[in-house]
Amino acid sequence: MGPESGSGAGWIDFAAKEANLQPKHPPISYNEQIAQLKALEIGFD
């Protein structure tokens, strides 16, 4: 993952990059929804 293992930053960055690979024509893509869910799981609470 990277040097930030254990912080969750690697997962957030990965999810963001995955979402950015998708075209922005639809309001929200499936991958963007998944990225948001992953970010929420990591604990933005």
Rounded distance between C-alpha atoms, residue 43 and residue 9, angstroms: 11
Q: What is the pLDDT of residue 43?
A: 63
Q: Which of residues 13 and 1 earns the better pLDDT score?
A: 13
Rounded distance between C-alpha atoms, residue 7 and residue 11, angstroms: 9
- Residue ranges covered by each domain of the chain: 9-42
Rounded distance between C-alpha atoms, residue 21 and residue 34, angstroms: 13
One DSSP character per residue, 1-45 reads --TTTTTSHHHHHHHHHHHHTS-S-SSS-HHHHHHHHHHHHH---
From the list 18, 4, 12, 2, the residue with the least C-alpha distance to 42 is 12
Summarised one tens digit per residue, pLDDT across range 9-38 is 677 777 777 777 665 555 677 888 888 888
